[in-house]
Structure 1
Amino acid sequence: MLNTADPESVGGYRLEARLGAGGMGVVYAARSESGRRVALKVVHQQYAEDPEFRVRFRHEVAAARRVSGAFTAAVVDADPDADRPWMATSYVAGPTLEQRVAQGPMSGRELRELAIGLAEALRDIHRVGVVHRDLKPSNVILSDEGPRVIDFGISRGADCRTLTATGRVLGTPPFMSPEQLVSPREAGPATDVFALASVLVYAASGVSPFEADTPYMTIYNVVHEQPRLGDLHTALRKVAEPCLAKEAKHRPSVDRLLDRLRALPAEGYGRPGPTPAPDGGSRPARGRLAWIAASALLVTGAVVAGLVPAFGPPQQRIDAAGRNGARVLLNSSLPAGWKPWRVTLPSSGTGFERDFLEPPRRPYPGYEDHTCLASAEDIYCGGNGIALTRLDAATGRRLWQHPKSDTTAALIGVGRDGTVLAVVPKPRTNDSRLEGYDPRDGERSWFVDIGNARQADVFRDGSSDFVLTQSWDGETFVAVNARTGEDRVVGRADKRLTCGPAVMGHRPYALCNPRSDSAESHRTVVYAIGPAAGRFRKIADIPHEVIPVGTHKGALVFVELKDNSNIPVAVHHVDPGHGALRRVPLNGLMPDHAPLALIEGTLYFARLNGELSAVSCLTGEPMWTQRTLADVSAPVAPPGKPGPLYLGSRGGLLLSLNPGDGRRRWRTRQSVEVTGPYPDLALIGNALYTRYGYDQLSMTDVNHPV
C-alpha cells in the first residue's frame, strides 16, 4: 500500500503500492494509462539535489537499457532529468530471494535453477560491458519463469573508472568483494562472480559466508577472513570456493562458472556434506577492529559513505541541556488513542542544499540538525529536506504541513506555549531568519533576521521561553521571545574572540575561542549571559578545546578534545556561580567522532564498531562496555530518574539496555536498509519515536517492542 506522503502518479504512471525502499529511492508497483504494470523507481528528494547521484542515476538507466535478457528486467521508460528522477522497468511478479530464504534454506532443483539462472543473468550483463556491483538477495526476484536480477543502481560500464568518488564505497557488505572495499575503482566482472557465490551460500544456508554481528565486522571478514561454507554441499562448495578468492584474478569467469554449475548433478545442490566449515571463517577478535576503525567507513545498506553527517561531526548533535539528540518529555503511559504506526515524512520540495547551515569551526551544540522534536502530545518534523509538519503522536496522522513554497525550516525547539521554532535560510543569500510558527495551523507568527548566524537554542527566563542566537555582526547576542518574536540584546562579545551560543541547564551561555591561529586558539572561555542588556560575566577560562554536554549536580559539564582532533580526553566541571574548575582525565582511549551523551552523571560513548561505553563523569573511570549494533545514535532515557537506555540505528533498528551494566533488555528486528544521518529519538511516556533514514518516522511501545 502507499503511504500518505506518496504521490498519486509519476511520469504518467499511476502508483498502486510500495514494493520497497532502499538507499537511493523508493520502488512502486505502478500502471500505465493502457494498464501495463511496471516497477517504478523514484530517487529520494535529498539525492535528487545531489549532482553526483543524478549522474549515477543516469548511468543506472543507461546500463539497464543496455542489458536485455531472460534473467533481467527490461527498462520501459525513464526521466533522469525530472525534479525527482525516476525509471520504470517491466514488472516481475514473485518474491525476492531474501523473502524466500526467510522461509528456510534452498536445496536440490530449486537451488540449481537459482544458481544457473543467476550465472546466465550475469553473462548477459557482462556481455554488454556492464558490471552490476550490487548483486544481493533483495535484488533477485524469483518469478515463475526463473530468477530475475534487478536494480542497476550502482552498476557501471566495465571500462568506466570515474563514478566512485574518493571516500565513498558502494555496495552491500555481506555480498561485496574485497576490491570493492579496498580499491572500489578496480571492481570489474569478477566482483559480480564473488557476489554470486555469496548469494548462493546465503540461499543454501540463510546467511552470507562472511556474516558477522555488525557490518564493520562483516567488512573485516570479507577482506581478511576465509568464507564459512559448512552449510554448502561438498560438490557445490568446490565450485563456490574459487569464486570467493580474495584476489579477483583467481576467480573463474562467468562462462567458466556456468559450465561448472551445469555439470553438477541435482544431488550436488543438496543439503550440507560432511566437510566442516574452515576455521578461518570465525568472527574477528576485538583486536582486529583497529583495521575497521581505520577504514573510516559508514555502512548503511546500499551506500557506504564518509563518517560526517549532513551538519558536521556527531558532537554537533549533543543537546546543550543534555537531551542528547532528542527532546525528551515524561508521561506516565502511551498517548491517548495510541496505535502502532510508521509514516514517510513529506518532502519540502524547495531544492535548497541540505548543508546550507554548515556548522561553525568549533563544535558548539547551539544549532542542531534535528529533523523531529516531540512535545507532550505531538511530533514536529522539518529540515534535512523534510517539510515542516505537525503529526499526532498517538496515530501519526498529519495535522498540518507548512506550504512547500516556503524554504526548509531547520527545527531548534518547541516553546512551552507550543510555538514551533526554526532557523530558515533566505533564498539566494547566505543569510538566515529565526521564525516562529503557530502550533494550531503551522502559519508563521513572526520572524527575526539573524544574518549569517547559524546557531540558536531555547532557554527559560521566568515564565517565558527565549531563543538565544547572534545578530548580524556575529558579536552581539540576542534573546528572542519564543511567543512574540520580540528581541533584545543580552550581551556583546570581545572582538578578539569567536563565540557561539550554548544553553546548559536551561540557562544561556557564550562559549568563545581566541581568533588567533596559535595554540591559544584552543582555549575556551565561558561567559554567563545575564538577564540585563550587556551582562557578560566570565566564569571560566579552560586551556583546552571543549564541547558542552550538559549539567550534573549544578555544574556545567564539558568534554575536552585532544588538540586538532575530535578525541575526548577529559571531563571539565565548571561551577556557574563561582567559576571553580575541576578537570577529570578520561581513563582509556575514547572514540573519535562518536556520538556521546550525558545521562544522570554517566557519559555514554557509542563507538563505530557497535560498542557502547559508559564512563563516570565524576571520576572518568569506565563503568562498562557492551557490544550493541553498528553505528548507533547516542542513547536517550526517561528524564529525572534512572531508567532504561534506548538507542537507534540509521536503518530503524532499536535497542534497549540496562544503565547499570549495559545488558540488553530487548532489540527490534531491522526491516529496512537506508542511509541517512543519526536517528532522532524522543520519549513521550512509554512511546519511543524514531526518525531514521531521512524521511521515515515510527513509534514503538517500549514495553512491547516489535
Structure 2
Amino acid sequence: MAPQRNTGAGAEAELPEYAGHYRLESCLGSGGMGVVHLARSTSGMKLAVKVVHAEFAKDPEFRGRFRQEVAAARKVSGAFTASVVDADSEAERPWMATLFIPGPTLSEHVKRNGAMSPAELRRLMAGLAEALRDIHRVGVVHRDLKPSNVLLAEDGPKVIDFGISRPKDSELRTETGKLIGTPPFMAPEQFRRPREVGPAADVFALGSVMVHAATGRGPFDSDSPYVVAYQVVHDEPDLTGVPENLAPLVLRCLAKEPEDRPTPDELMRELRSVAASYDTQVFIPAQRSTDVAEPEPVVEAAGRRSKRRLGKRVALAAGALSLLAGGVFASVQLADSPSPEAKSSSSPSTAAAFRAWQAKPGPDGAGTPQCSYGAGKLFCTQSELVFALAPSDGTLLWRRSISEVGSSAPPVLSGGLVLISTDEGRRVQALDPATGRARWQRSTPAQTGTPCVGGTLLLTAADGTVTGVDSATGDAKWNRRIPGQSAPAFVSFTGDPLAYAWSTSDGSITRVTAVDPATGVVRWDARLRGILQPVGTVGGSVYLLSAAGAYGDTAAVVRYDPGSRTSVRVTLPVPRQGVHAGVRGNVVHLLASGGSLEAVDTKTRKRLWHLETSVSRGSVPVADDKHVYVSAPDGRLLAVDADSGRLVGQTPPRLGTNSDRVAGTLPTPVLAHHHIYATAPDGTVFAVPAKNPSAW
C-alpha cells in the first residue's frame, strides 16, 4: 500500500501504512495534535486510529499527556464513548485505536443540515448528560467537549477525544499562562484558574454545545478567540434561537461559577420534566463519510450561522419497556384487591389485532415488577405484591399483598403452580395460577440456588446435598449428592429437560455435569479447558463463556457437543467485561457492561457484527428470527436487526421517582407468541409486538 497523503493542517505529508497491527485505510480528520484514520484489524473490524504528529512524538510532556488520554478513554464506559481497542504510547509515533462509530460529528451535522429540532435537542442534551455522568463517575474531566468531539451514533451521542482530559489523580499540571481548550466551549475557570478545572467545566461546555446545536453558533460568538474569551468570563450568553423549554436549563449550565451549574444527574432529572412531549426517539444519522470536515483545532474560535433547517428525520418511538428481572418474593396474604384498568395504545388494524398496552398494578415508588410468562398469563412480583396479568391487554387477573422480601428472581411456573421465594430465600411458596391462593409452602435450607426444571424444584443444601422437590405437591422426590460437584449451583434453559451444574478447579479446568431433574441421575459429565460458564443450550449442545485475565473478562465463546465430546472455541477480537449472553441457534449474542453488543456464530467461527449501544450494564440479550432485544437500566427496550446488527427501534426510558437508583442486575426481556413483555422502574408493565420495532 502506497503512503497516504493528507492535507490536514499541521499533519505530515506522508502518512504511515500501519499503526501497530492495524492497516490505515483513509483519513477521517486532522487536528492540532494528530490525524485520525479509518483502519481495520486483522479480522476486518473497523477502527478509528489516532496517530500523533511526529513533532509532538518527540516531546516527553506530550507523550505523558497522550498516556493520560489513553488511560482516561479506557476508564470510561463504551456506552457513551468509542471503546479503546489498543494503544501504544511508547511507539515512535504514538497511536490509539478505538472502535469505529458510524455517524457524523455534531459539528458536521449542523454544518450540513442546520439547527436541530426541539425534540432532537432534548435527546442530545440527555445523551450528553448521561455521557458526562459516566465520564465523571470514573474520575475524569474531559475539558474539551465541543461539537467536533460529539459523534451522532444511531443509538445516541458519543463523546470522543480525551486528548486534554485530566483524571483527578493526575500528576500532570497545566503550565501557568497556557490555555488548553477551544474558547467558544471553555468555561470561565479555564481562563481564570486553569489548574482548578473540575467536572463543572464540562457542564458549561455542554451548555455551549447545546446553543451551537440549536442555532449554528455559540453563546459567545466572535471571529476573535480573545474576544470570545472575554465574553465567556464577563458577558451573558446569547440564547436567541434556543427553544423556550430548554433555555433555562442551558442558562444554568452556562453559569459563571462552577457551583451554580447543575450536575449531570440533575440535568437528567430536569430533562424528564422539561415538557410533556419529552421522549428519547433515537436519531439515526447518515453513515459517517470518510470525506470529513476538519475538526476545530484547539484555541480556534467557532461561529457558524447556518439558516438551513433539518430535512427528513428518522424517529423511533415507543410503547413498551425492558423487562427487568430479579424479583423480590414474600409471603402471600389471601385478601383480594381491586383491579385497576390497563391502558391500551396503538390503533389496531382489526378488532382482533394485538395492541401495545401498558398497566401499572402497583403503587408509585414500588420499583420494577419482575415478570415471567406461563400458562397463558404474566406472573409478576413487585415490592410487596404478587399479581397476574392477561398477556393480550394487560388486564389485572388477580393481585395479592406480600410482606416478606425473597430472592431476586421472577415467579416460575412449575408443576402447574406458580412458585415464589419468600422470607429472604428461606421458604418456597406455591400459588394457584388461576387465583393466586397458596397451595403449599416449604422451608428451604441454606442453599446456592433454587432452579425449577420441568416439574421439579432443585434445592442445594450447604453440605452439597441436592433435593428434588415435586413442584405440584411440595414433596421430596429424591435426595443425593452429585458426583464431582461439591456444592452444585444449577442452571436450566428454556426447552431443555436437563439441569446443569459446573465448577472450576485449578483455574484451568471446568467440570460440567448434566442432571436429570426428575431422578437426580447424571446424564453426562465433561471436563473442559478454561474457566467456563454455561449460558445456553441448543439441540443438546451447551454454549459457554470462557473467562481470561485478572478480572475474568470474557475472551471466547465455547460450544460443547456431549454426543461427540468435541468443543468449538471462537475467540473474541477484544475481551469484554461483565458479559451477559443469550443463544439463538448457532449464534451467541453478547452484551458487555460498557454497552458493546455483538453476535458470534459458532458454526462459521466468526463474529457476525458488533454494535456499541448506550446500554450500560444491560440485560441478557434475547433473540427471535428477526431481532435481538436488550433491556436497559433506565427502562428502555432496544431492538437490533439480527442479520446486520443495526439498531432498528427503542422505547423511551421510564425511571419513575427513584431515578437515582440503579439495579444490580436486569431481567431478560420475555418473548411469547411474537410479543415482547417488559417492565420499567416506574412500576409499569408493557407489551409490544415484536414484528415492527421501528413503530414502537
TM-score calculated relative to the size of structure 1: 0.51
For residue 506 of structure 2, what is the aligned residue in structure 1? 520
Distance of 2:156 and 2:434 partners within structure 1: 43
Q: 1:453 aligns with which of 440, 447, 456?
A: 447
**Aligned pairs for 1:88-487 within 5 A:** 102=118, 172-173=129-130, 180-181=136-137, 183=139, 210=150, 212-213=152-153, 217-218=158-159, 224=165, 228=209, 229=212, 231-232=214-215, 236-238=219-221, 260-261=235-236, 279-280=295-296, 338-344=354-360, 346=362, 371-375=370-374, 377-382=376-381, 385=383, 387-408=385-406, 410-411=408-409, 413-415=411-413, 418-426=416-424, 432-460=426-454, 465-470=455-460, 472-487=461-476
- Contact 1:636–1:645 (Cα < 8 Å) also in 2: yes
Distance 2:159 2:218 in 1: 26
Q: Indicate the residue corresponding to 2:539 in structure 1.
A: 553
- With over 3 angstroms needed to count, the CA separation of the structure-2 counterparts of 1:671 and 1:219, relative to structure 1, is farther
Cα distance, 1:492 vs. partner?
0.5
Asked whether the equivalents of residues 378 and 391 of structure 2 are also in contact (C-alpha less than 8 Å), the reply is yes
Q: 1:216 to 1:494 in 2, by over 3 A?
A: farther
Alignment partner, residue 625 of structure 1: 610
Corresponding letter in the other structure for 2:532: V
| Amino acid corresponding to residue 358 of structure 2 in structure 1 | R
Name the structure 1 match of 2:671.
683
C-alpha distance in 1 between matches for 2:441 and 2:224: 65
Residue 155 (structure 1) aligns with: none
Q: Is the partner of 2:451 in helix, strand or coil?
A: strand
Quick one: structure 1 residues 231 and 501, their matched pair in 2 at CA, closer, same or farther if it must change by over 3 Å? closer
8 A contact 1:413–1:422 mirrored in 2: yes
5+ long unaligned stretches in structure 1: 1-99, 107-135, 139-170, 202-206, 246-250, 283-307, 312-332, 355-368
1:491, 1:420 → 2: CA distance?
25
User: For this pair of structures, how many residues does the alignment match?
Assistant: 434
Following superposition, the deviation at residue 414 of structure 1 comes to 3.4
Query: What per-residue deviation string (whole Å, max 9, x for no partner) do you get for residues 498-521 of structure 1?
Result: 32122245333452436xxxx625
Give yes or no for contact 1:545–1:563 (8 Å, CA) kept in 2: no
Residues 391, 455 of structure 1: alpha-carbon distance in 2 compared, 3 angstrom cutoff: same
Q: Counterpart amino acid of 1:391?
A: L
Aligned to 2:90: none
Aligned to 2:492, the other structure's residue is in SS state: strand
Of 576, 587, 594, the residue aligned with 2:579 is 594
Q: 2:567, 2:120 → 1: CA distance?
A: 59
Following superposition, the deviation at residue 629 of structure 1 comes to 3.9
1:498 aligned to 2:481? no
Equivalent position SS for 2:380: strand
Deviation of 1:223 after TM superposition, in Å, equals: 7.7
Q: In structure 1, which of residues 684, 693, 697 is the aligned counterpart of residue 685 of structure 2?
A: 697
Choose from 555, 568, 577 the match for 1:569: 555
CA contact (8 A) 1:509 1:526 kept: no
Task: State the shift of 1:344 in Å.
Answer: 3.6
Displacement of 1:373: 0.8
- 1:543 Cα deviation (Å)? 3.6
Is the contact made by 1:348 and 1:408 (CA closer than 8 Å) also made in structure 2?
A: no
Pairwise CA distance, 1:599: 0.7
Q: What are the superposed Cα offsets for residues 261-288 of structure 1, whole Å, 9 maximum, x if unpaired? A: 18x79899999xxxx9982499xxxxxx
Match of residue 363 from structure 1: none
* Mapped contact 1:334–1:686 kept (Cα < 8 A): no
DSSP-derived class of the 1:440 partner:
coil
List runs of 5+ in structure 2 lacking aligned partners. 1-115, 166-180, 186-208, 248-291, 299-323, 328-348
Match of 2:629 in 1: 646
Q: Tell me if the contact between 1:611 and 1:625 (Cα under 8 Å) persists in the aligned partners.
A: yes
Residue identity opposite 1:466 in structure 2: T
Aligned counterpart, 1:295? none
Structure-1 residue corresponding to 2:501? 511
Secondary structure of the corresponding residue to residue 279 of structure 1:
coil
Q: In 2, are the aligned partners of 1:309 and 1:678 still within 8 Å (CA)?
A: yes
CA RMSD of aligned residues (A): 5.0
| Preserved contact between residue 458 and residue 517 of structure 2 (Cα < 8 Å) | no
Counterparts of 1:582 and 1:684, CA distance in 2:
31
The percentage of counterpart residues that share the same residue type is 17
**8 Å contact from structure 2 (residues 326, 409) kept in 1:** no
Amino acid at match of 2:645: G
Alpha-carbon contact 1:584-1:618 (below 8 Å) kept: no
- Distance in 2, Cα, partners of 1:565 & 1:267: 49
**Does the 8 A contact of 1:510 with 1:526 survive in 2?**
yes
TM-score by length of 2: 0.51
User: 2: CA distance between counterparts of 1:335 and 1:539?
Assistant: 53
Aligned to 2:444, the other structure's residue is in SS state strand
Work out whether residues 438 and 445 of structure 1, in 8 Å CA contact, stay in contact via their aligned partners in 2: yes
User: Per the alignment, in what secondary structure is the counterpart of residue 573 of structure 2?
Assistant: coil
The residue matched to 2:219 in structure 1 has which SS?
helix
